[in-house]
């Protein structure tokens, strides 16, 4: 059993805290957001993530996890402190490190001899060294501490499983003893442990996310070509994915990536490259292709409705979160698309199983409804924007009857084009050359 403090109880922090507690450690989860901490103390999770509440409740009962907004309390017994605060995009695309800096200063004020500071946030190469400097500057008396990089690779929606069964653990440090202790802490996860220097560990995270985003933009480019040439991108992905050099993951064509990681991380990596005088052409293309996906969705709606002017048209969006099984609305394609549809004159309604509360603040002029069938009522077009499982088995006859005209743009390719046409929909998926005809 180790004593651990996790700073930040957002998507990464609360999972890290709950999972380390479940592995038998004593964890204090800390956040400056007192509302989130009060919520957790009352059994309310700060995010929606499948299985999280059960996991937290179990470990609260076992006395292995507690919540605080006090650094004094959080660091009282800690041997390890994880930094898991946000690193959003700054004005020029750089990672904004204000939260990392603030947490480092607070840690410095409460540091004990031998503390190992583990950075889980995604941070630009060199940030680990910079955090060490901040700590020494803030607390010149501190002698013995270490900063280690241990980037997080979990995916929202399957975060607990991803955390508990990682493909690898990356540990970056020049301090062999600290690296060894952090590696030992992760041994129960039985994953390969890659020990490297700090800067390389920080780069592994950016390179991994940029590669996955590239795969998505790649298949979206192929989808465009499929549409022109009459091939079906779903079958192309399937045929490609069996090749072990390629793999099937991240080859789903659609309306592009969003969320709190890929957009900001590709941007931040491009910024880092530019700061060192490079022209990161591939990264720029990945971002441009992705931005165009949202415009493509709006163009498809106009083309299906046979008018550039969408005045008087009612469009229903099925799904709002940037991907299924999360309430995260950060940089969700649905937000850009809804605003563009409204700009073209459409009245937009939406349904999402989990994210509507979060989405309502970002889309005040979009009417949120209770279920897919109410959504369909009076719609001229339905658009699938998030591939929630529950949309896969809708009663499509009922949906068709409720709509003003049975037109569907499937931005996530969840339906079979031929069947949709058989039911009587004017249907279009993404990159499906024949589109049911």
Residues serving a catalytic function are: 261
Q: Which of 20, 48, 67, 99 binds ligand NAD (CB under 6 A)?
A: 99
Among the listed ranges 151-159, 174-182, 184-192, 344-352, the one in contact with ligand NAD (CB under 6 A) is 151-159
The first and second tokens of residue 238, run together, are: 């399937």
13 binds ligand NAD (CB under 6 A): yes
Q: How far is the CB of 352 from ligand NAD (least distance, A)?
A: 18
Distance, in Å, from the CA atom of 356 to the CA atom of 57, rounded to the nearest integer, reads 25
160 binds ligand NAD (CB under 6 A): no
Residues 271 and 96 sit within 8 Å (Cβ to Cβ): no
* x/- map, 236-275, ligand NAD, by CB under 6 A: ------------------------xx--------------
Among the listed ranges 101-109, 249-257, 287-295, 374-382, the one in contact with ligand NAD (CB under 6 A) is 101-109
156 binds ligand NAD (CB under 6 A): yes
Cα–Cα distances in angstroms (integers) from residue 6 to residues 20, 54, 86, in the given order = 10, 19, 13
Instruction: Please give the helix or strand (H or E) that residue 296 lies within, else none.
Output: helix 281-305
386 binds ligand NAD (CB under 6 A): no
- 156 vs 331 by CB, closer to ligand NAD: 156
Distance, in Å, from the CA atom of 69 to the CA atom of 241, rounded to the nearest integer, reads 46
- 260 vs 435 by CB, closer to ligand NAD: 260
300-319: contacts with ligand NAD (CB under 6 A): none
Closest residue to ligand NAD, judged by C-beta, is: 10
The single-letter DSSP state of residue 212 is H
Residue 424 backbone zone (phi > 0: left; psi -120 to 50: alpha; other: beta): left
Distance, in Å, from the CA atom of 68 to the CA atom of 75, rounded to the nearest integer, reads 10
* x/- map, 122-141, ligand NAD, by CB under 6 A: x-------------------
Distance, in Å, from the CA atom of 324 to the CA atom of 388, rounded to the nearest integer, reads 5
Among the listed ranges 8-16, 274-282, 403-411, 413-421, the one in contact with ligand NAD (CB under 6 A) is 8-16
Q: How far is the CB of 120 from ligand NAD (least distance, A)?
A: 6
9 binds ligand NAD (CB under 6 A): yes
* x/- map, 274-303, ligand NAD, by CB under 6 A: ------------------------------
Residues 319 and 386 sit within 8 Å (Cβ to Cβ): yes
Q: How far is the CB of 203 from ligand NAD (least distance, A)?
A: 14
- 49 vs 387 by CB, closer to ligand NAD: 49
Strands (E), 299-397: 314-318, 347-351, 367-368, 381-384
Contacts (Cβ under 8 Å, ≥6 apart) of 34: 69
Alpha helices in 10-142 (DSSP H): 11-22, 34-41, 52-61, 71-75, 98-110, 127-138
The first and second tokens of residue 103, run together, are: 């947490």
Q: Is the dihedral of CA 112, 127, 1, 26 positive or negative?
A: positive
23 binds ligand NAD (CB under 6 A): no
Distance, in Å, from the CA atom of 305 to the CA atom of 307, rounded to the nearest integer, reads 6
- 13 vs 324 by CB, closer to ligand NAD: 13
The first and second tokens of residue 230, run together, are: 């009459």
325 binds ligand NAD (CB under 6 A): no
- 148 vs 236 by CB, closer to ligand NAD: 148
Q: Which of 78, 85, 233, 359 binds ligand NAD (CB under 6 A)?
A: 85
Q: How far is the CB of 107 from ligand NAD (least distance, A)?
A: 9
Cα–Cα distances in angstroms (integers) from residue 233 to residues 322, 418, 433, in the given order = 21, 15, 8
Among the listed ranges 150-158, 177-185, 190-198, 267-275, the one in contact with ligand NAD (CB under 6 A) is 150-158
> What is the bridge-based pairing of β-strands 3-7 and 367-368?
unpaired
Q: How far is the CB of 159 from ligand NAD (least distance, A)?
A: 7
Residue count (the chain): 437
Alpha helices in 139-197 (DSSP H): 159-164, 176-186
Distance, in Å, from the CA atom of 17 to the CA atom of 5, rounded to the nearest integer, reads 8
Q: Which of 4, 5, 6, 11 binds ligand NAD (CB under 6 A)?
A: 11
Among the listed ranges 2-10, 21-29, 125-133, 177-185, the one in contact with ligand NAD (CB under 6 A) is 2-10
Contacts (Cβ under 8 Å, ≥6 apart) of 44: none
Number of C-beta neighbours around residue 360 at 10 A? 15
86 binds ligand NAD (CB under 6 A): yes
Q: How far is the CB of 300 from ligand NAD (least distance, A)?
A: 28
Q: What does the binding site for ligand NAD look like in residue numbers (CB under 6 A)? A: 7-13, 30-33, 36, 84-87, 99, 102-103, 106, 121-122, 152, 154, 156, 260-261
């Amino acid at each position: 059993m180790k004593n651990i403090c996790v700073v930040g109880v957002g998507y990464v922090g609360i999972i890290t805290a709950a999972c380390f507690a479940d592995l038998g450690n004593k964890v204090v989860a800390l956040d400056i957001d007192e509302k989130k901490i009060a919520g957790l103390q009352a059994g309310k999770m700060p995010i929606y993530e499948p299985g999280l509440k059960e996991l937290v409740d179990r470990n609260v009962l076992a006395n292995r996890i507690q919540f605080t907004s006090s650094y004094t309390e959080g660091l009282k017994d800690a041997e390890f402190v994880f930094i898991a605060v946000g690193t959003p995009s700054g004005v020029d695309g750089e990672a904004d490190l204000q939260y990392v800096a603030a947490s480092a200063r607070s840690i410095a004020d409460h540091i004990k001899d031998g503390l190992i500071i583990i950075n889980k946030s995604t941070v630009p190469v060199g940030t680990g060294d910079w955090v060490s400097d901040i700590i020494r500057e803030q607390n010149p008396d501190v002698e013995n501490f270490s900063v280690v990089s241990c980037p997080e690779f979990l995916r929202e929606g399957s975060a607990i499983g991803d955390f508990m069964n990682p493909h690898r653990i990356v540990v970056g440090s020049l301090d062999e003893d600290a690296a060894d202790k952090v590696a030992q802490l992760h041994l129960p996860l039985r994953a390969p442990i890659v020990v490297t220097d700090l800067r390389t560990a920080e780069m592994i995270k950016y390179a991994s996310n940029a590669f996955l985003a590239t795969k998505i933009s790649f298949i979206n480019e192929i989808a465009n070509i499929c549409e022109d040439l009459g091939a079906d991108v779903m079958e192309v992905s399937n045929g490609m994915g069996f090749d072990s050099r390629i793999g099937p993951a991240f080859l789903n064509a659609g309306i592009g990536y969003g969320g709190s990681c890929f957009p900001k991380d590709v941007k931040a990596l491009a910024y880092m490259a530019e700061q060192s005088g490079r022209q990161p052409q591939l990264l720029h293309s990945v971002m441009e292709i992705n931005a165009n996906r949202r415009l493509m969705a709006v163009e498809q709606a106009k083309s299906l409705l046979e008018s550039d002017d969408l005045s008087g048209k009612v469009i229903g969006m099925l799904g709002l979160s940037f991907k299924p099984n999360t309430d995260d609305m950060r940089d969700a394609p649905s937000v850009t698309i809804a605003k563009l549809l409204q700009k073209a004159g459409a009245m937009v309604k939406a349904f999402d199983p989990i994210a509507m509360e979060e989405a309502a603040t970002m889309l005040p002029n979009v009417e949120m409804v209770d279920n897919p069938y109410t959504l369909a009522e009076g719609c001229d077009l339905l658009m699938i924007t998030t591939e929630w499982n529950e949309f896969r088995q809708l009663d499509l006859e009922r949906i068709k009857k409720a709509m003003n005209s049975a037109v569907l743009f499937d931005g996530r390719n969840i339906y079979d084009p031929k069947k949709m046409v058989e039911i009587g929909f004017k249907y279009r998926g993404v990159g499906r050359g024949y589109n049911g005809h």
